[in-house]
Structures are given as C-alpha cells and as structure tokens.
Amino acid sequence: MNSERQHNHDNRKTHLQHIDEQISCVDLFCGVGGLTHGLIREGIDVLAGVDLDPQCRFPYEHNNNTTFVKRDIRELSSDELIKMFGNSKLRLLAGCAPCQPFSTYSRKSRKVKHDEKWDLVSDFGRLVRDTQPEFVTMENVPQLLHYEVFQNFLADLKHYSISWSVINCADYGVPQSRKRLVLIASKLGKVELLIPDRLEENNSTVRKAISHLSPLEAGSCDPKDRLHTASSLSEINLKRIRASKPGGTWRDWDESLLAPCHRKQSGQTYPSVYGRMKWDAPAPTITTQCFGYGNGRFGHPEQHRAISLREAAILQTFPEDYIFLPPEEPVIFDKLGRLIGNAVPVRLGEIVARSILQTKIRGERSILDMRESTHE
C-alpha cells in the first residue's frame, strides 16, 4: 500500500471509531441562519455561527438556539475554531463565503480586478487545511468554478472524498430558480449530494409557497405579522403593475408607461425588470432588492404590489414563524432585504445535511460489517 493510500486508510479507520457520535458543526459566514436552520432540522448539532455582520446576531441566535460569533473570518485562527468544536468527534465545517465578487454584475461594474472578498474562500480553505474536520460543505455562485481560488480550495481537500455540482434549487423543493455551486466533502468514505426527489418538483411554485398569506396593498402591513409588509409604489408604478401580466415584461405596457431607460437601446437587454411572478412556476432568484417592484420580476402574481418581506423569506424556505428582528426594532426594507436575499435557503441546508448523514450511515454499516466479519 503506497503512502497516500495508507494515510487515507488510517484516517478513515480513526474516524470510523467515532461514527456513532452526533455530527457537530460550525457555520462560517452564517448570516441569519438559513444553512444552520436546515442542518439543525435534520439532526446536526450546530455549535456556533460566525459572521462579520452584527445585524445577523438576533435572528441567528433567536431562531436556532445557538451561539453567534461576530468575527472576520480572515482573522479567525484555527485554534479558535478548534475550541468552538470542543470535544466533538465528528466535525462539519460549513462555509458560504459572500458571492458578490463572482457575480457577473459586480465584475462588470468594478474596475479593479482583484477584490479582497475573494480571499474569504481562501481563508475558508486555510481553516479546513489547519483543522481537518471530518466533513466540509460549501455553497456559492456557479461562477466560482472559473477561478483559481476554487481549484486551490479543492487542493485543500486532497484527503477527502469530494462531491460538487451546480444545482437549481427548484429541483430540490426550493420555490425559486436559484443556481448554486454546492460542495460536500468527507473523510468517512464516498460522499454524494442527494439526487433531487422528482416528486417534490410540483411543490416548487410560488402558489404553493405564498398563496395562503393575507392579501396586501402596496405600502400596507399585515397586523398579525409585521414582516408581511409590502413597499409603497408611486402612482406611475401602480399603473405599470396593473398593466403587467404574470411572467410578462414591460414590453406589454402602453408606451406612455415606459421608463426613459426602456426607450434606450441598452434597456432592451433588461426585460425582467418591472415583472410579475407566475403562480405555477418557481420565483426568480430572491435577491437583496427583492422587495422592490422595479428591481426584477418581483411583482406579486396577482396583487398590485411587490412581494412582501415575509413572502421573500418563505420563498427562501424560512419557516413562516422565523423572526428576523426584535420587537422594538422598526422594519427597514433595505436591511431586511439584504439579510433575506443573502441567506442560504433552509431547504438547501436540509439537503446538505441529509447527504452528509447518508455518508455517516454508510460508515456505520461498514463498522457493522467489519465487526461481523471479525466475529466469524
């Protein structure tokens, strides 16, 4: 047996000794807790979430009953991370570094080629390399595949079984078209991201997700749920949304309703702004500006308004009772839109957890087989 195979064999044998332990997780770039909430729902013990944004502390801790650590990942040492895991025998390190540096829009609008946020993926790799957790997961935009930083991250996982793919979250029960790169890695043997359950595709629609919520007018709020509040619309935008069809574009409007940008040749390439969602299809990707009618296809399929903050959160598969701010704080659209739009869908966290737990189950079966063969 060569040295690398011996290393892998010894590594796996050591970890299998603790296979009956619960998996514990530290969630880097945790945000308001979308990934964490999904992991917890499937039985993974999330010990802490780390994020630089102090606005994430309340929703993260309140909804997940775990610890929020306000830290810049670039300044987080491996020793600190090891202390967070404590005596955990099976450790999962999760990291969804901010994806803006890899988005098409941000590349076009930025003159400087290098952005320090790109280094966050490298810092995630550093922490993996230094602490060697039993499991690793990462979520990011598909564009990351085209950059050297992704290949470097794979190199940091050289002693792991790795599975990664670009998925449409709608295939996994998330009611929005959201393409993401999802990676999972394991030291306990072969790991695979679960194949979508085709029976759940019919649930990935706007109708299934939000049609039961109380109707709203633009600028109004549900008295029973202050997150179910819709932004105001100007008189011209009220006329525009009334003229908009589900799944249509501003090209359906009378010319008198067109904005100056639509009349320019450059505006012809943005047909999805000022659009309505379709009831019986997934929503578009929920972004940080999803509460604004003019920011994309975020018009309600039927009511003359943009989707509410609560509807956006539900389309991100947060539970309807997920609390995003303490009662004394006012609802601020920009702030809450950013927290909701930047989140990992809870459902995606559940899928990641199930995929990792399948690896654990296979390891348990391997132990049983080893024990049975020994007794024979």
φ/ψ of 244, rounded to 5, equals: -95, 140
| DSSP structural state of residue 255 | G
Question: How far is C-alpha 154 from the chain's CA centre?
Answer: 20
Question: How far is C-alpha 176 from the chain's CA centre?
Answer: 12
Q: CA–CA separation, 312 vs 354, rounded Å?
A: 25
The answer to whether 189 touches 363, Cβ cutoff 8 Å, is yes
Reduce the secondary structure of 55-84 to three states and give it as a string.
Answer: HHHHHHHHHHCCEEEECCHHHCCHHHHHHH
Is 99 among the residues known to form the active site?
A: yes
Q: Is 318 helix (H, G, I), strand (E, B) or coil?
A: coil
Contacts of 128 (CB under 8 A, 6+ apart): 93, 136, 153, 156, 157
- The closest alpha carbon to 163, from 363, 356, 360, belongs to 356
Annotated catalytic residue, options 56, 96, 99, 290: 99
Strand-pair partners of 49 = 27, 68
Written as one letter, the residue type at 117 is K
Positions annotated as catalytic residues are 99
